[in-house]
Amino acid sequence: MEQTARLTRTEISWILYDVANSAFIMLVSTTIPIFFATLVEEAGMETTTASGLWGLVTAAAVLILAVLSPILGAVADYQGMKMKLFVGFWAMGLLGAVGLAFTTHWLWFMVIFVAARLGYSACNVFYDSMLTDVTTDDRMDMVSSHGYAWGYIGSCLPFIAGIVVLFLTGMSAQGFRISFLITSAWWLLLTIPLLKNVRQRHYLPGRPGTSRQIFRQVGATFQKIRRDRRLFCYILGYFCYIDGVYTIISMATTYGNELGIDTVQMILALLLTQFVAFPCAIASGLLSKRYGPLGLIKRFILMYMAICLFGYQLDKVWEFWVLAVAVGICQGGIQALSRSYYGKLIPKEESNEYFGFFDIFGKFADFMGPLMMSFCALTLGSSTYGILALLVLFGAGYLLVLRSEKAE
């Protein structure tokens, strides 16, 4: 089937979930940390402390899931289990997002956020693995890119609605809470097509075994990944470069807040990132036919290294806007192509378990980046030095991707 063919109903239903859950991660990158900083400041603590605490709580959420991902993936590979686990963690994330709207104490806000982020992230393990169920290898780059692209543009709609509410309420706590509820409703409604139209096509027969058997299965899969030089080098490289990508996404507003950039300017600049990412993500799917997914991933890594150097000296509002555009150009493409390229390398009937390892590498990266930024904020009094440290990770990721390419 040619990549120019129209998207099928199943592919569209899968893509719509990217639109649904991207609205939540948009909040995580923008208004949620701003509201959390307000709660911390109301408790008498400093802005730097808020940055440090937010990095730690983000790290805690992703570390928990990083440990669970391969185990959940091994269970989900069996017939009928993928959708059951997806629905359970989706409900957990959705209820957590709603709960944030009714929490007034910063400590409880942190606890509920961890639950919401855990549910959201666990869903993505099963969602990413559904890519092998909804399309074919020759269409994966296109479908994955459409998922990220429409996720970026679609997430802006509830976000804009929330921003309007915030302006109308004078950036009040009530305005923040209403914006959380708008996003929760969006997440609920746009998940329905996936629940109706997507089914697990590739699976292992029978039922999951005992806990001991599951752990043995996870260990055996890891050994298979280690023996596959191309896959192993790629996933190690992914661990390094995606660390920088996720850190820039999750810590952007806290970093801007620390530099004294106005809240409204930060939100509008990050909204611009989403609009820029939309056409760039779709273009990445098309360009992958000419340059190959790895060729584009390498180019995006080099661009991110330039972004880090620019971010290190950032101290003006217009520079934050330039940074937002640059991140938008790279962000969708590198995430979409990383997912689709990995999907082509793995056995389809074990996609959940393999994507569990993909997620554990991504989540440990997401853990290390915010932790590094928090360490700099709490010990050195500034997150700026953490930006420079990301250069090392991007550089290591580039070299490992090169090794994977040579192993083909």
At 172-196, the pLDDT tens digits run: 888 888 989 999 999 999 999 999 9
The pLDDT assigned to 2 comes to 42
**Which are the contacts of 220, defined by CB distance < 8 A and separation ≥ 6?**
none
Give the 3-state secondary structure of residue 204. strand
- In angstroms, the CA 346 to CA 358 distance is 11
Rg (CA), the chain: 20
Q: Could you tell me the pLDDT band of residue 3, with boundaries at 50, 70 and 90?
A: very low
Neighbour-count burial for 308-318, b at 16+ CB within 10 Å, e otherwise:
beebeebeeee
CB neighbourhood size of 146 (10 A): 21
> Which candidate, 272, 281, 366, 279, places its Cα nearest to that of 323?
272
Q: What percent of the chain clears pLDDT 90, i.e. is strictly above it? A: 13
Does pLDDT of 404 surpass 80? yes
Count Cα atoms within 13 angstroms, Cβ side, for 245.
25
Q: What are the pLDDT digits (tens) for 39-51? A: 877 777 666 666 6
Does pLDDT of 257 surpass 50? yes
Does pLDDT of 259 surpass 80? no
Q: Could you tell me the pLDDT band of residue 87, with boundaries at 50, 70 and 90?
A: very high
Best mean pLDDT range from 92-96, 251-255, 331-335? 92-96
**Which are the contacts of 340, defined by CB distance < 8 A and separation ≥ 6?**
131, 140, 141, 143, 144, 145, 288, 293
- In angstroms, the CA 89 to CA 247 distance is 23
Amino acid at 46: E
Does pLDDT of 392 surpass 60? yes
How large is the average pLDDT for residues 350-369? 70
- In angstroms, the CA 238 to CA 335 distance is 10
Q: Could you tell me the pLDDT band of residue 252, with boundaries at 50, 70 and 90?
A: low
How large is the average pLDDT for residues 213-240? 82
The Cα angle at residue 126 between residues 121 and 129, in degrees rounded to 5: 120
Residue 78 backbone dihedrals phi, psi, to 5 degrees: -80, 155
- In angstroms, the CA 317 to CA 95 distance is 36
Is the CB of residue 245 less than 8 Å from the CB of residue 331? yes
The pLDDT assigned to 318 comes to 76
Q: What percent of the chain clears pLDDT 70, i.e. is strictly above it? A: 82
Q: Could you tell me the pLDDT band of residue 38, with boundaries at 50, 70 and 90?
A: confident
Q: What are the pLDDT digits (tens) for 103-118? A: 888 778 888 888 898 8
Is the CB of residue 116 less than 8 Å from the CB of residue 184? no
Neighbour-count burial for 293-304, b at 16+ CB within 10 Å, e otherwise:
bbebbbbbbebb
**Which are the contacts of 316, defined by CB distance < 8 A and separation ≥ 6?**
none
> Which candidate, 179, 206, 154, places its Cα nearest to that of 100?
179
Average pLDDT, the chain: 80
Give the 3-state secondary structure of residue 2. coil
> Which candidate, 336, 391, 397, 378, places its Cα nearest to that of 59?
378
CATH architecture for the domain at 9-198+209-406: Up-down Bundle (1.20)
Longest dimension (CA), the chain: 60
The pLDDT assigned to 308 comes to 84
How large is the average pLDDT for residues 17-26? 86
Q: Could you tell me the pLDDT band of residue 218, with boundaries at 50, 70 and 90?
A: confident
H helices of 43-170, in order, are: 47-76, 81-100, 106-129, 131-134, 140-168
How large is the average pLDDT for residues 194-214? 73
Does pLDDT of 1 surpass 50? no
> Which candidate, 124, 114, 173, places its Cα nearest to that of 151?
124
Q: If 0-12 CB within 10 Å is exposed, 13-18 middle and 19+ buried, where does residue 108 land?
A: middle
With residue 227 as reference, give the H or E element that holds it: helix 211-227
Q: Sketch the domain layout of the chain as residue ranges.
A: 9-198+209-406
Q: Could you tell me the pLDDT band of residue 370, with boundaries at 50, 70 and 90?
A: low
Question: End-to-end alpha-carbon separation of the chain, Å?
Answer: 24
> Which candidate, 150, 140, 196, 185, places its Cα nearest to that of 342?
140
- In angstroms, the CA 140 to CA 3 distance is 9
The pLDDT assigned to 300 comes to 93
